[in-house]
Amino acid sequence: VFSSNVFLFLFLPVFLAVYYLVPFRARSVVILVGSYLFYGWWRLDFLLLFAGVTFWCWLASHLVVRAQVRGDSVAATRAMAGGVTGALGALAYFKYFDFGVGNLNALLAGVGLAPSSFAHVILPIGISFYTFQAISYVVDVWRKDAEPAANFWDFSAFIGLFPQLVAGPVLRYKDMADQFRQRRHGLDKFSEGSTRLMAGFCKKVLIADSVAPLVTACFQQPEPSMAEAWLGAVAYTIQLYYDFSGYSDMAIGLGLMMGFRFEENFDHPYRSRSITEFWRRWHISLSTWLRDYLYIPLGGNRRGAARTYVNLLLTMVLGGLWHGASWTFVLWGA
């Protein structure tokens, strides 16, 4: 994690030293190697999955472009669908397999049948984020909203970019393509990034982590009083915002230190005057992703009021399920 000693005092300074010593044309490779080291620090086997999803979606986008050059829109759509289906299939298996088996076993037990026995599937870190980024790239290339990556290394570096790999923001290649071709490095940008990194660090460590024990204590009460329930809810509201926005600030700061400028992910969400405004201010990159790649393709608000509410409900329920594989997240989304 970004607040750990091994990241701050070993990985980051070594990475930045190598990054600035090599010429610009080699920096995508340095980003890719550094990001794979960062990700593989936990488990090497899931690094293979990460690389596999990356290659699959790059191959799909390559096939999309080839089909479009030939004027074969059917083949292009098939290639896009194959890329999206493959990426979603990996996400579904690793994130939702246990959830599905657990519900199946509950159903079997309810009718008096023996439960199924399957091995527990471990959830790879960051799979929700890098899957959404890979999908958006394939779809944008198919829609001709984005130029395909100049080479495999730029695309792989974009998917693996370690500052946003663990907790976002969810990036889109079409917003980053120009920065992979050319970006400005300088002391002012590096200083801005360092300041943003430490501001996010303080939000995470000094506020979120300090409030966390209070949250845990309140939520562990078997029969909380009204005061304890409200204290826990308010404390968790503080913890969640400062932890998540702190990580986003650190990611944006690290990006600036590398010459990248990411989109903002939070805009004072607790100032919001409505739920609609809240979702424009909270985890902006995910909210806009769900809008552009789920809500609008479902029809958005173009097919009457009833269909609009169905589309909104589906989008929010699936958005809730994206956050975690449990009925509580489905209920929260609904």
Helices (runs of H) and strands (runs of E) counted in the chain: 16, 0
Comparing CA positions, the residue from 84, 61, 89 lying closest to residue 297 is 84
d(C-alpha 47, C-alpha 83), whole Å:
19
Question: Which residues are CB-contacts of 245 (< 8 A; sequence separation ≥ 6)?
Answer: 200, 203, 265, 266
Place of tokens 């300088």: 186
Q: At what angle do helices 27-40 and 152-160 cross, to 10 degrees?
A: 40
DSSP at 286: H
Q: Please report, for residues 61, 170, 242, 277, 322, the alpha-carbon distance to residue 130 in angstroms, rounded to integers and kept in the order given.
A: 16, 8, 23, 26, 13
Q: Please report, for residues 127, 199, 201, 242, the alpha-carbon distance to residue 8 in angstroms, rounded to integers and kept in the order given.
A: 23, 14, 11, 19
Catalytic residues: 323
Q: Residue 116: what are its φ and ψ, rounded to 5°? A: -80, 150
- Sign, Cα dihedral of 140, 290, 268, 228: negative
d(C-alpha 153, C-alpha 151), whole Å:
5
**DSSP code per residue over 88-113:** HHHHHHHHHHHHHHHHHHHHHHHTTP
d(C-alpha 114, C-alpha 108), whole Å:
6
